[in-house]
Structure 1
């Protein structure tokens, strides 16, 4: 049985998930798994080294590091996912390279998704992006529904 979208040959929205040490395993692994299961291109991007450790000490090898400039050749309309669980939200917020990256995504008419719409990172995003170019995870909604909505957006946006 093929999954919807997997066998279609049209271009898909490129998606990226930005992770730093102290991330929440469930958020990151679940998001990557669901996107790849749906046949969507998603790259995990670490802030520093490719080997990133969760708040529980679980190591994940990211597809690339931010220093490798994975966003340089990205066309318009990409999706940048910012998981805020664990310490990742604050780590992303404090990294000086993240704000210019967000500006680049905005210039290329991309979208940003945040896994906690009540986080400090989400409030910072509201200063850069309009409401139509951000996707915030409401606290009362289960993560599974939020991820399903993101994958649907990525499947049908192109």
Structure 2
């Protein structure tokens, strides 16, 4: 899948209006439809239905991580001119790329959206170096997870690594 397709796919998941009963009904209807139009095809609708709870959770988690982690980091990076260089690429969780002050999903990895850590890697192509660091972003409070990111710590870490190499 191309990057544009991945980005669009994840944004669509993030912005879906999820109604579990409707999703289950549509999965069941679609499975029957395919079976009726193609006699050689049989698909058990209960197989897909068992993924609806995870699907709902992943849609919610994508939105939370994007709004509370990725966007604040992109906004903070935009405010720092040193990081708007064309040869600096910052990758959040291995899936969300920040380059020239813009962020975009590059891959899909469902495990990222259940992770309590943020993995930041960045590289500067002109100097050919790469750093990777993990930051905690989620804390569990019973059934609820609080998501937050300290953009100052992240920015300081990146700027320190860049200055080390200059």
Q: TM-score, normalised by structure 2?
A: 0.30
- Bigger fraction of residues in helix: 2
Q: TM-score, normalised by structure 1?
A: 0.31
Q: Comparing both chains, which one has the higher relative contact order based on Cα–Cα distances under 8 Å and sequence gaps of 6 or more? A: 1
